[in-house]
Structure 1
């Protein structure tokens, strides 16, 4: 199967929580998409061919445009399919702030709870010991320098956050009203990991039945219509795409916003602030109020534009060779 320059191609793997967030957004918006399954840990040569260094999961490909980070992917999908909206007009700021909290504070508390010894043993039950060791080493490298919650502290925090979500659901089906918004998708995926990936840890959810009912409503949104695609075909779709000089294909905001004293056309790197800090090098071709775009060339993928949100990412001038 091949892909066109307009196909939505999600590079993900089934047990990735942030991928579940995006899969549900695709389902909510009833968008057709193509599914490329990528490795959960390094090496990821086909991923790096497209991203240039970024290796977190998922990322979205549209032709030769690569969108990193689930928050930016949500913005792109909103632009492509504005209804139903992820950002209700009367609560747009609240939805974004709550989603950012869920993708960071809630997520890391949930994962510290989920992956304490009993949960980690459950996750790798039946797998060879080398698999658990390799996964642990991979994630340790990605989280170098981060402060991790201890299991007892994570458990207490997770319980508190679940109660707060339950409070938000009093008298309404979703966190900010009668329909889902971006905050619902961001808050759902760490809880989904607890329930589906480490069910041995899922008793913590039972104290908040309103949250469990909301999770059922979220799961019912589904993943939309998708077809499998190979990584080779996805890379070929990038190489075959035209319009390599148009970094604003999926965002009408073209205004250059300089916060760094780095001119467009400069050689730069972009890396995540905390988790997965592998830098992506390239030429800066856009810096708007919400995102950065690098242009780079790969021998297999051709001329590629890699897009990052400003929030959570660090732009630096490339060091002289």
Structure 2
């Protein structure tokens, strides 16, 4: 198998989620630090427009969204399992709630941007804020006070889950733990209101410590130009081979395979990726596209959280 290349940046919560999964599975991976804001020419060369962080590259196959990346890593190294059969449905449902409802509640209160960008000039802070406002577009935003009230309830419930066990759903971490952890990890550093709440939650803090020691696996730094070249040197895996081996076509849109389509996130990050629809299974979409620098690539998206449209 080609190298695992994670495109990420250090303070990205969803990047920390994937870094911890890589550590839990004791995987070696190559690290590409992407820009925090546009322009991202090397990102777009690989994804065709998608610019949320992180994404995973394996050769000329590009896997977008942390939920799909976790599915891929589970196939790359099945043990230890992210989706234990005894709690599979519950773990997936809790993870989806954490990646959406919990995430936006925890990140809604004011953040300490001075600390986040301690070594950066003021214009960098303003540029980052404007970039994230553009990514949010018209999505509903919780007021800080409403989000803080919700967080208190959520943290109490999560603490109760840790009363008699070290992880949220049992004796070992599962996908739910990684999805709950990453927004709390971010907020403990950069969101003072939420950090103050967490410091009154000893069970949650102890659980976070158990998650942190999982580490990040074995890492080698490369630059984005090397990653683009790595894609250009190979062809994407044939449909039905590799980590996403499901060949079954599931048509929910009346769009046949071979159509020119776009895939766009439902909310955060409005940039569309356009390409030829070469797979639409129960759980994911795959688009084939060509870039002058990266060559032919397959860009993969989960169904949940994304919108498929036919190009007129």
Shorter-normalised TM-score: what interval?
Answer: over 0.9
Aligned 1:117-128 pairs, distance under 5 A: 119-128=112-121
Match of 1:226 among 210, 216, 219: 219
Match of 1:306 among 259, 282, 299: 299
The alignment status of 1:55 with 2:51, answered yes or no, reads: yes
What is the distance in 2 between the residues matched to 1:95 and 1:244?
A: 29
**Which residue of structure 1 lines up, in the alignment, with residue 64 of structure 2?**
68
When residues 288 and 136 of structure 1 are mapped into structure 2, their CA distance, relative to the original with a 3 A threshold, is: same
The alignment yields a C-alpha RMSD, in angstroms, of 1.4
**Which residue of structure 2 lines up, in the alignment, with residue 42 of structure 1?**
38
Q: Structure 2 stretches of 5 or more lacking a match?
A: none
**Alpha-carbon offset, residue 159 of structure 1:** 1.4
**Which residue of structure 2 lines up, in the alignment, with residue 110 of structure 1?**
106
Query: Could you report, residue by residue, the CA deviation over 1:251-301 in whole angstroms, capped at 9, with x for unpaired residues?
Result: 221101110000000000000000002100000000000000000000000
What is the distance in 1 between the residues matched to 2:235 and 2:291?
A: 15
Structure 1, 151-160 or 171-180: larger mean CA deviation: 151-160
Structure 1, 256-265 or 123-132: larger mean CA deviation: 123-132
Match of 1:22 among 3, 8, 18: 18
Q: Secondary structure of the equivalent of 1:207?
A: coil
What is the distance in 1 between the residues matched to 2:235 and 2:305?
A: 30
What is the distance in 1 between the residues matched to 2:141 and 2:192?
A: 22
**Which residue of structure 2 lines up, in the alignment, with residue 165 of structure 1?**
158
The alignment status of 1:241 with 2:237, answered yes or no, reads: no
What is the distance in 1 between the residues matched to 2:26 and 2:119?
A: 36
When residues 199 and 229 of structure 1 are mapped into structure 2, their CA distance, relative to the original with a 3 A threshold, is: farther
TM-score of the superposed pair, with normalisation by structure 1: 0.94
Q: Secondary structure of the equivalent of 1:166?
A: helix
**Which residue of structure 1 lines up, in the alignment, with residue 122 of structure 2?**
129
Aligned 1:69-218 pairs, distance under 5 A: 69-113=65-109, 116=110, 119-198=112-191, 202-218=195-211
What is the distance in 2 between the residues matched to 1:132 and 1:260?
A: 41
Q: Secondary structure of the equivalent of 1:56?
A: coil
What is the distance in 2 between the residues matched to 1:75 and 1:107?
A: 20
TM-score of the superposed pair, with normalisation by structure 2: 0.97
**Which residue of structure 1 lines up, in the alignment, with residue 285 of structure 2?**
292
What is the distance in 1 between the residues matched to 2:113 and 2:101?
A: 20
What is the distance in 2 between the residues matched to 1:59 and 1:304?
A: 14
Query: Could you report, residue by residue, the CA deviation over 1:190-247 in whole angstroms, capped at 9, with x for unpaired residues?
Result: 0000123446852110121100000000000000001001111110110011355446
**Residues 296 and 305, structure 1, Cα contact 8 Å, conserved in 2:** yes
What is the distance in 2 between the residues matched to 1:179 and 1:187?
A: 14
* Number of corresponding residues: 312
When residues 284 and 101 of structure 1 are mapped into structure 2, their CA distance, relative to the original with a 3 A threshold, is: same
**Residues 18 and 66, structure 2, Cα contact 8 Å, conserved in 1:** yes
**Residues 50 and 66, structure 1, Cα contact 8 Å, conserved in 2:** yes
Q: Secondary structure of the equivalent of 1:99?
A: helix
Q: Secondary structure of the equivalent of 1:212?
A: helix
Q: Secondary structure of the equivalent of 1:227?
A: strand
What is the distance in 1 between the residues matched to 2:308 and 2:241?
A: 19
Q: Structure 1 stretches of 5 or more lacking a match?
A: none
